[in-house]
Structure 1
């Protein structure tokens, strides 16, 4: 038994040493990243940066081109393509899963060894949270763009009809418009134009980044007007009117959906409590009279 104990202790020590050396190699692999021209990472990635950056360096060799492309498109929809790389986002998901697993094991520790099913569910939920957050951010960004687009189109239309060209009109809209994702994207279009990028390519890049039918329709209309040499004022005014009508239609649709969305909470929470309050005196009277005995 003593010989087996010595062998087991030696195997455990060797496994611990191998794990320590692997973790150390992972932490050393992440070279410092030059982020002078990148945006600030989200809060979770900023706090877990000492872990996500080395893991991202290792995940690069295991991430396929298709996975990298799909993840980059999701980051672009959320406005994070200049904040995180696909490998860094996937590393953040891995770290979130490990943290959720550790939290589940810590909570279950007073009861003994946690079951493997609980650890697996915790890890899956933890790694799914960043993906859910990214989808919510992309959807909120899309709604903000659709909400701000009519105002920006009105400003650009007034500037163009007053005699300014399109880049100057965009600059006026960026200067006077409210803060939001659309202002940031129009500012990127201006930077592309100042860097010498053709106007058509800058506008197509705007449509690809936002990936909404309203912006795609606007970009297509501007490109057709520029190609045909027609005036941009009527085109922009028609686009602004159409976007405003679409916003009113979305508001009416949400108002019509509100009663349907309120029905489940009413049936589950409000109506049972109301019936209990109304029927309590009746049930008390029946008990007093002995009818329910």
Structure 2
């Protein structure tokens, strides 16, 4: 009797010790996590823009992860991310480390959700968690790329109208700064108006107008904007009237917008081919073939 009770008692003591050690480790990890969250410095966003909604929902874990990621970023990687932030119009809202940290935070949320689903459905938890993390990271970058492309499309769409407005103001007797101010005040809301406002802000800060326009072209990184800035600077250096130059630029930008619309219309049938083959054709064949199959089954074939 004694020999059978002793091993059982030893096993129980071992399990209790393991449970205590696991609980102590979890408690220590929780304490360290809480201290790191408490030690997170307050963020001064007085001169910064509000983060977009998709990022603001996870802003607290994003800031916490960014604090650890920031020292690991190289100068080249930081510059690359900052260039992408400028193209998305987020360089005054998000830092490069926060952009990378947001991708990690969304990946972690995707891993947690996938692990919970896998546990409920009795699936491999590790594989599902890795898949969820990858899916979350891809979702974050897909959102960022979609925002950049949408901003570029809207900017090019508004450019001819804003150029016509600036041309009208210049031909009415205003100088270029006054015309830009009128375009900002009366133009449609969007990325182009925000960028022109930054140009005026740079000029008021003491930069020359040519340098402010060059920075504008560098931020957008679009051939149409680069051509417009180059034409304006060249016309000012040569003492030419800006009215005809701006009018010609507006007509050219309008022609380019029409060409882009034609190209998108011609690409639409090709883009519809895959959904048509993958989804619409099988459903059509199923609807047409089901009555025929039922008749064959009724005939005993």
How far off its partner does 1:45 sit? Answer: 3.0
SS of aligned partner of 1:139: helix
CA distance in structure 2 between the partners assigned to 1:106 and 1:286 by the alignment: 46
Q: What's 1:75 paired with?
A: 85
**Is there any run of 5+ residues in structure 1 with no aligned partner, and where?**
none
Q: What's 2:5 paired with?
A: none
Q: What's 1:36 paired with?
A: 46
Q: What's 1:208 paired with?
A: 218
CA distance in structure 2 between the partners assigned to 1:156 and 1:149 by the alignment: 10
Q: What's 1:234 paired with?
A: 244
CA distance in structure 2 between the partners assigned to 1:250 and 1:256 by the alignment: 10
How far off its partner does 1:26 sit? Answer: 2.2
Say whether 1:19 aligns with 2:29: yes
- TM-score, scaled to structure 1: 0.90
Q: Deviations for 1:119-149, whole angstroms, at most 9, x for unmatched residues?
A: 1111111122211111000000000011000
Against the structure 1 CA distance between its residues 6 and 183, is the aligned structure 2 distance closer, same or farther, given a 3 Å change threshold?
same
2:256 to 228, 246, 250: 246
Q: Is the contact between residue 154 and residue 237 of structure 1 (CA under 8 Å) also seen in structure 2?
A: yes
Q: Deviations for 1:222-271, whole angstroms, at most 9, x for unmatched residues?
A: 12222222221222111111111101111111111222223333334444
Q: Is the contact between residue 62 and residue 101 of structure 2 (CA under 8 Å) also seen in structure 1?
A: yes
Say whether 1:90 aligns with 2:68: no
Say whether 1:130 aligns with 2:130: no
- The total of aligned residue pairs comes to 291
SS of aligned partner of 1:60: helix
SS of aligned partner of 1:129: helix
**Is there any run of 5+ residues in structure 2 with no aligned partner, and where?**
1-10
Q: What's 1:260 paired with?
A: 270
CA distance in structure 2 between the partners assigned to 1:91 and 1:10 by the alignment: 34
CA distance in structure 2 between the partners assigned to 1:281 and 1:108 by the alignment: 39
Against the structure 1 CA distance between its residues 126 and 267, is the aligned structure 2 distance closer, same or farther, given a 3 Å change threshold?
closer
Say whether 1:51 aligns with 2:58: no
Q: Is the contact between residue 30 and residue 55 of structure 1 (CA under 8 Å) also seen in structure 2?
A: no
User: Aligned runs of 1:210-225 on 2, under 5 Å?
Assistant: 210-225=220-235
Q: Is the contact between residue 157 and residue 257 of structure 2 (CA under 8 Å) also seen in structure 1?
A: yes
Of stretches 58-67 and 127-136 in structure 1, the one that deviates more from structure 2 is: 58-67
Q: Is the contact between residue 26 and residue 55 of structure 1 (CA under 8 Å) also seen in structure 2?
A: no
RMSD, aligned CA: 2.3
- TM-score, scaled to structure 2: 0.88
Against the structure 1 CA distance between its residues 137 and 19, is the aligned structure 2 distance closer, same or farther, given a 3 Å change threshold?
same
